[in-house]
Amino acid sequence: MWARVWAIFIKELKELSRDRMTFAMIIMIPLTQLMLFGYAINTDARHIPVGLVDLSQTSESRAVEQAIVATQSVDFVSRYASIKEAEVAITKGDISAVLYLPADMTRRLFSHPLYDHQQPYSALTRPIGQWIVDGSDTVIAASIRALRNLPLDEINGLATARTAPSFEVVQYYNPEQRTVVNTLPGLLAVILTMTMILFTSAAIVREQEQGNMEFLITTPVRPIELMIGKIAPYVIVGLVQVTIILSMGHWIFAVPIKGGLLSLFFASLLFIFASLALGLVISTIAKTQLQAMQMTIFILLPSILLSGFMFPYDAMPVAAQWIAEALPATHFMRMIRAIVLRDANILLLGKDALWLGLFTMAGLAIASLRFNKKLE
Amino acid sequence: MNTDSTKEQQVVEYAIEAQGLTKRFGNNIAVNQFDLRIPKGSIYGFLGPNGCGKSTCMRLLTGLLEPTEGQIRILGENLAGHEESLKQRMGYMTQKFSLYEKLTVRENLDFVGAVYGLSRARRKIRIEELLTLYDLEHQTKQFAGSMSGGQRQRLALACATLHSPELLFLDEPTSAVDPENRREFWERLFDLCSVGTTILVSTHYMDEAERCHALAIMEQGYKRADGSPKTLMETMPATVVEVSGDELRQLKQNLIQHSEIMSAAQIGAHLRVLVKQEVQDPLGFIKQLSAGRNAVLARPSLEDVFVACTGGRHVG
Ligand SMILES: Nc1ncnc2c1ncn2[C@@H]1O[C@H](COP(=O)(O)OP(=O)(O)O)[C@@H](O)[C@H]1O
Ligand SMILES: [Mg+2]
């Protein structure tokens, strides 16, 4: 039995190493995706281009403008004479928001309790200006909403002791709040999902498409031998990708890898096996490589959107959480973030590890049952 | 030797026996009530046009497809339930090239050898034998994908015979090969046959079919006739008359109007006419219709048999 598995394994490795395109993709997918996502994905928006309609034209209005620029959240890229013109600019997409300072802004400012702490807060208190925001991008809208309570006392130089915060927030992990620290482990899960499922499902479907399977079935090869021999090379491929992503993350993006490397590779192996098993199941359903690709995307999209890579798992509705629980990527995402960012030990993550193990076994069982040694 | 033991010996003498073999794909019947008996050590041919069910029939006999109905016995054992043990005793060369194009000739052979469980030492010896036998010594490092049709076919045959099977299935092995290589290929088949290998080969070439010890003429999933080429020609249900003279095209148009005439085909300067068996004096019948042209009885060919059996359709 192992002689046959070995023969298939060697054959598959040879084919793989001679397929330049696939070989390049194994290396290039993690490299390029990591560079792209590592630099591009950032959820705290800075320097948002905005416009200004200043009907007040006083030294106070200029002071307010400067106080806002000092936050670095927005850049005033253009000025408009009327709110009408500014609205057109928002619709065209030139700016994401506009700050409207009315003609009586100075009067409003002086009577504002945040400016002059002697002033009482009353129903007559009016905001000194208005932000008109293109709300279609929620991240940008949220950044501008954060400007609502801009402390105005800094403008008059009277800055008094601010009211004490109700809570204190102590950040244990990722103290600088860099997005890439959270993205990188997630990216590992996404890239592995994509390549592992696609490569295995395509590898088996390819034998069918190219007619190799018709010959193989008439040989004494058993389905389980064929499957083990075919997926074993991709375990190596997966580990190579894990190594590329983690070392790049470590050296280029300075993502701290807190947990042990052993836990890390054990978790990765579990996930690689689960993904390969899923790929095998797909290969027993798909008739062509194109179908295998479509099914992979069908799995890949929820893996990106629901696993906690894009949006926090806890913020999702219960139904979405159920779907997420079924995906191996969710469990891996949880484990890998815990290990990389929070120095968790694999033993702490027993539940997720167990689930990946069960998933793999169920996948293998389904695949060998479905893979009968007939052509139909 | 008494009659009983003769009978018993005959049972094991067959390499393939099938009764009522039927394969349906949805509503489409690819193989229909097929009976087959192929003696050990012979070359048996499937002759028929594309889509007549040759490949499907081979896939049923190799256990690749499950028959909808019917019994199959291979090398004296029921195929159902013994597929795995029989796989060591059968070899199959698929219609489409089914080896790995990104592996070299030697790597392909080595892979197939390992899959059939040959030990490393045995594999080495056997591969050298086959490389010499099939004229591939100089291509050992060439990728299978870059070889010519003839070379691929020899490699495929080498792979199919690597484990020295007793029964060999060849599905249209010569369709991508020039006539010169086809002749050589058949020489090799006779070599295999002479050491006791039973060969089932499908083809749509008449000249190849004529070399088989026995063959089945197939059409739309049905076996229309079977037997040795000689028997088939002697017992065909029609008489061949060759007419020569002027305006044969016109004559052909007239002749095929008559229901007694199966077909008329112009071959060189002759018109080859198949007259149905029930006509008492076929030569006289044609002479009377062909208005003074020269008509003679001719020896039937396998093509005539095919046309007579399938009601006038041409092969390939
Ligand atoms: N897997 C299949 N599914 C459906 N129909 C099939 C399948 N394989 C063959 N057929 C049909 O069975 C008939 C016989 O095909 P085949 O055995 O390949 O013919 P041949 O080998 O003589 O050219 C054809 O009509 C073909 O369309
Ligand atoms: Mg065919």
**Complex prediction ipTM:** 0.82
- Given a cut of 90, whether residue B293 has pLDDT beyond it is no
Percent of chain A with pLDDT over 70: 93
Please report the pLDDT score of residue B315 as a whole number. 37
Is B52's C-beta closer than 6 angstroms to any atom of ligand 1?
A: yes
Q: For atom 25 of ligand 1, which residue has the closest CA?
A: B51
- CA A22 / ligand 1 centre spacing (Å): 33
**Summary mean pLDDT of chain B:** 89
Greater confidence, A339 or B94?
Answer: B94
For chain A, which residues lie within 8 Å of any Cβ of chain B, measuring from their own Cβ?
Answer: 3-4, 6-8, 10-11, 14-15, 18-19, 210-221, 373-376
- Rounded CA-CA distance B191/B275 in Å is 39
- Given a cut of 80, whether residue B90 has pLDDT beyond it is yes
Please report the pLDDT score of residue B74 as a whole number. 95
b/e per residue A61-82 (b: at least 16 CB within 10 A): bebbbeebeeeebbebeeebee
Please report the pLDDT score of residue A169 as a whole number. 73
Is B53 in a helix, a strand, or coil? coil
- Given a cut of 60, whether residue B177 has pLDDT beyond it is yes
In sequence order, what are the residues at sequence separation of 6 or more whose Cβ sits closer than 8 angstroms to the Cβ of residue A120?
A113
Percent of chain A with pLDDT over 90: 24
In a 13 Å sphere around the CA of A5, the CA atoms on its Cβ side amount to 11
Greater confidence, B313 or A55?
Answer: A55
- Given a cut of 90, whether residue A123 has pLDDT beyond it is no
Shortest distance between the Cα of B195 and any Cα of chain A, in A, equals 22
Q: For atom 7 of ligand 1, which residue has the closest CA?
A: B25
Contacts of B31 in chain A (CB under 8 A): none
Q: Do A215 and B116 touch (CB under 8 A)?
A: no
Give the β-pairing of B90-93 and B167-171. parallel
Please report the pLDDT score of residue B44 as a whole number. 96
Residue to substitute in B22, B56, B223 for testing ligand 1 pocket (most ligand atoms within 8 angstroms of CB): B56
Q: Do B114 and A4 touch (CB under 8 A)?
A: yes
- Given a cut of 80, whether residue A114 has pLDDT beyond it is no
- Which listed ligand is nearest to B66 at the C-alpha? 1
- Given a cut of 60, whether residue A229 has pLDDT beyond it is yes
- Rounded CA-CA distance B119/A4 in Å is 11
Q: For atom 14 of ligand 1, which residue has the closest CA?
A: B53
Percent of chain B with pLDDT over 90: 62
Q: Do B62 and A218 touch (CB under 8 A)?
A: yes
Task: Cite the residue boundaries of each domain of chain B with CATH code 3.30.70.100.
Answer: 237-299
Average pLDDT over residues B144-170: 94
**Most confident segment among A126-140, A197-211, B96-110, B277-291:** B96-110
Give the β-pairing of B261-267 and B270-276. antiparallel
Sheet hosting strand B270-276, strand order edge to edge: B261-267, B270-276, B238-244, B294-297
- Given a cut of 60, whether residue A151 has pLDDT beyond it is yes
Average pLDDT over residues B260-271: 87
Average pLDDT over residues B125-154: 93
Shortest distance between the Cα of A211 and any Cα of chain B, in A, equals 5
Residues with CB under 5 A from ligand 2 (ion): B 55, 95
Is B265 in a helix, a strand, or coil? strand
- Which listed ligand is nearest to B96 at the C-alpha? 2
Q: Which helix (H) or strand (E) holds B180?
A: helix B179-194
- Rounded CA-CA distance B177/B152 in Å is 9
Which segment of A150-159, B24-33, B89-98 scores lowest on mean pLDDT? Answer: A150-159
Is B30's C-beta closer than 6 angstroms to any atom of ligand 1?
A: yes
B61 close to B35: Cβ distance less than 8 angstroms? no
The CA-based angle B187-B190-B196, given to 5 degrees, is: 155
In sequence order, what are the residues at sequence separation of 6 or more whose Cβ sits closer than 8 angstroms to the Cβ of residue A45?
A73, A139, A140, A142, A143
In sequence order, what are the residues at sequence separation of 6 or more whose Cβ sits closer than 8 angstroms to the Cβ of residue A227?
A204, A280, A364, A367, A368, A371
Size of interface A-B (CB pairs under 8 A): 75
DSSP string across A117-161 = TTSPP-TT---S-EEEE-TTSHHHHHHHHTTTT--STTTTT---P
For chain B, which residues lie within 8 Å of any Cβ of chain A, measuring from their own Cβ?
Answer: 59, 62-66, 83-84, 87-88, 90-92, 94, 96-103, 107, 110-112, 114-117, 159
Please report the pLDDT score of residue B181 as a whole number. 85
- Cα separations (Å) of A33 from A41, A186, A256? 11, 12, 19
Please report the pLDDT score of residue B313 as a whole number. 42
- Given a cut of 90, whether residue B288 has pLDDT beyond it is no
Residue to substitute in B22, B24, B27, B28 for testing ligand 1 pocket (most ligand atoms within 8 angstroms of CB): B28
Is B55's C-beta closer than 6 angstroms to any atom of ligand 1?
A: yes
Please report the pLDDT score of residue B2 as a whole number. 47
Average pLDDT over residues A334-340: 85
b/e per residue B125-144 (b: at least 16 CB within 10 A): ebbeebbebbebeebeeebb
Is B23's C-beta closer than 6 angstroms to any atom of ligand 1?
A: no
Strand partners, B261: B275
A211 close to B94: Cβ distance less than 8 angstroms? yes
Greater confidence, B268 or A161?
Answer: B268
Classify the phi-psi angles of A57: left when phi > 0, otherwise alpha if psi is within -120 to 50, otherwise beta: left
- Given a cut of 60, whether residue A161 has pLDDT beyond it is no
The CA-based angle A226-A232-A236, given to 5 degrees, is: 160
Q: Could you report the per-residue pLDDT of A175-200, keeping only the tens digit for each?
A: 666 667 777 888 888 889 888 888 88
- Given a cut of 70, whether residue A78 has pLDDT beyond it is yes
Please report the pLDDT score of residue A157 as a whole number. 64
- Rounded CA-CA distance B134/A278 in Å is 42
Q: For atom 9 of ligand 1, which residue has the closest CA?
A: B56
Shortest distance between the Cα of A245 and any Cα of chain B, in A, equals 30
- Rounded CA-CA distance B202/A236 in Å is 43
Q: Could you report the per-residue pLDDT of B228-239, keeping only the tens digit for each?
A: 999 999 888 889
Q: Could you report the per-residue pLDDT of B31-75, keeping only the tens digit for each?
A: 999 999 999 999 999 999 899 999 999 999 999 999 999 999 999
Please report the pLDDT score of residue B3 as a whole number. 47
- Given a cut of 60, whether residue A57 has pLDDT beyond it is yes
- Given a cut of 90, whether residue B193 has pLDDT beyond it is yes
Its pTM stands at 0.80
Q: Which helix (H) or strand (E) holds B266?
A: strand B261-267
Is B53's C-beta closer than 6 angstroms to any atom of ligand 1?
A: yes
Greater confidence, A120 or B223?
Answer: B223
Q: Is residue A11 classed exposed, middle or buried when 0-12, 13-18 and 19+ CB atoms within 10 A define those classes?
A: buried
Q: The domain B237-299: what is its CATH number?
A: 3.30.70.100
A308 close to A328: Cβ distance less than 8 angstroms? no
- Given a cut of 50, whether residue B1 has pLDDT beyond it is no
Ordered by where they begin, the domains of chain A are 10-41+177-370 (no CATH), 48-145 (3.40.190)
Please report the pLDDT score of residue A24 as a whole number. 86
Atom of ligand 1 nearest to the CA of B65: 1
DSSP string across A61-116 = HHHHHHHHHHTSSEEEEEE-SSHHHHHHHHHHTS-SEEEEE-TTHHHHHHT-TTT-
- Helix then strand then coil, % of chain A, to nearest 5: 60, 5, 30
Shortest distance between the Cα of A142 and any Cα of chain B, in A, equals 55
Which residue among A8, A10, A218 sits closest to B92, beta carbon to beta carbon? A218
Please report the pLDDT score of residue B22 as a whole number. 95
In a 13 Å sphere around the CA of A348, the CA atoms on its Cβ side amount to 14
In a 13 Å sphere around the CA of A157, the CA atoms on its Cβ side amount to 2
Q: Could you report the per-residue pLDDT of B24-39, keeping only the tens digit for each?
A: 999 999 999 999 999 9
Among 3.40.50.300, 3.20.20.140, 3.40.50.620, 3.40.640.10, name the CATH number for the domain at B12-232: 3.40.50.300
Which segment of A2-11, A248-257, B99-108 scores lowest on mean pLDDT? Answer: A248-257
Q: Please tell me what DSSP assigns to residue B80.
A: T
Task: Cite the residue boundaries of each domain of chain B with CATH code 3.40.50.300.
Answer: 12-232
N-terminal to C-terminal alpha carbon distance within chain A: 25
Average pLDDT over residues B169-197: 91
Task: Identify which of A11, A259, A330, A80 has the alpha carbon closest to the alpha carbon of residue B112.
Answer: A11
A221 close to B116: Cβ distance less than 8 angstroms? no
| Residue B242: alpha-carbon gap to chain centroid | 28
